[in-house]
Chains A and B, each alone.
Chain A
Amino acid sequence: GDSVTQTEGPVTVSESESLIINCTYSATSIAYPNLFWYVRYPGEGLQLLLKVITAGQKGSSRGFEATYNKETTSFHLQKASVQESDSAVYYCALGPATSSGQKLVFGQGTILKVYL
């Protein structure tokens, strides 16, 4: 079946350092999946951080970037300089590129802790 694997957390980073959270996927039932990063900040609900629906394209939001790499089946999340407010749980997910259903398959989540 389809699956998503991401960096095991928690990931602890000092403020202003760079960050990468790895995400690799296996889409056996979906030819061209859409890829997403969701985030849950402390005390808040899960929300979309960024999405990319075309292989080879890059998505960005709030200083985070992720490139959809079909060759390596990866969608790593990167940020050049993290802030304490980026501390959250990050989820990589994939979904079918059709309008019907659009079930998402999530990774296990990566806890990010940014300290001053």
Chain B
Amino acid sequence: GGIITQTPKFLIGQEGQKLTLKCQQNFNHDTMYWYRQDSGKGLRLIYYSITENDLQKGDLSEGYDASREKKSSFSLTVTSAQKNEMAVFLCASRDWGYEQYFGPGTRLTVL
């Protein structure tokens, strides 16, 4: 079986700071995703990528950049962290049967 790893597990930043989250998968899946989850809310799509070097904006892409330089990795950058922001960022990859496999998440806190 495969696994999705996300680093770091916890990320604490300052207002205005640029922050990068990383995701690696060894499923050899083509499509990868970044979601944001706020407390008590469902997951919202930020970016996804259907292949290496491809990027597609989701519903919440403003304020974020993404990069897919390798098939196995997908990184997300918060371009300017917002004060008091708190959320969990989830990375996922998709198999041919439409199932998405999720990583454990990165919890962001902005002071």
Please name 8 further chain A to chain B contacts, defined as beta carbons within 8 Å, in addition to the given A44-B104, A104-B45, A109-B42, sorted by A numbering.
A45-B102, A45-B103, A45-B104, A45-B105, A51-B98, A53-B98, A103-B33, A105-B42
Bound Cα distance from A91 to B4, whole angstroms: 20
Is A30 an interface residue, CB under 8 A from the partner? no
Q: Across the interface, which residues of A come within 8 angstroms of B101, CB to CB?
A: 47-48
* Interface membership of chain A positions 44-57, coded 1 if the CB is closer than 8 angstroms to chain B and 0 otherwise: 11111001010000
CB under 8 Å from chain B, chain A span 33-61: 34, 38, 44-48, 51, 53
How many angstroms between the C-alpha atoms of A100 and B31 in the bound complex? Answer: 9
Q: How far is the CA of A101 from the CA of B54 in the complex (A)?
A: 11
> Given A101-B48, A106-B43, does the pair A46, B98 have CB atoms closer than 8 Å?
no
Q: How far is the CB of B22 from chain A (nearest CB, A)?
A: 16
* A12 CB to nearest chain B CB (Å): 17
A102 touches B94 (CB 8 A): yes
Q: Classify the secondary structure of B's interface with A.
A: strand
Verify A101–B50 contact, CB threshold 8 A.
yes
- A residues in contact with B98, CB < 8 Å: 34, 51, 53, 95, 102
Q: Are A51 and B99 in contact (CB under 8 A)?
A: yes
B42 contacts which chain A residues (CB < 8 A)? 4, 91, 93, 105-109
Q: Which residues in window 81-116 of A have CB below 8 A to B?
A: 91, 93, 95, 99-109
Query: Smallest Cβ distance from A51 to chain B, in angstroms?
Result: 7
Q: 8 shortest A-B CB distances, which residue pairs?
A: A106-B42, A46-B102, A106-B43, A108-B42, A45-B104, A45-B102, A48-B99, A107-B42
Q: How far is the CB of B30 from chain A (nearest CB, A)?
A: 10
Q: Determine whether the beta carbon of A108 is less than 8 Å from that of B41.
A: yes
Q: CB of B23 within 8 A of chain A?
A: no
Q: Contact check, A101 vs B102: say whether CB atoms are below 8 A apart.
A: no
Given A48-B99, A91-B43, A108-B40: A103 and B104 within 8 A (CB)?
A: no
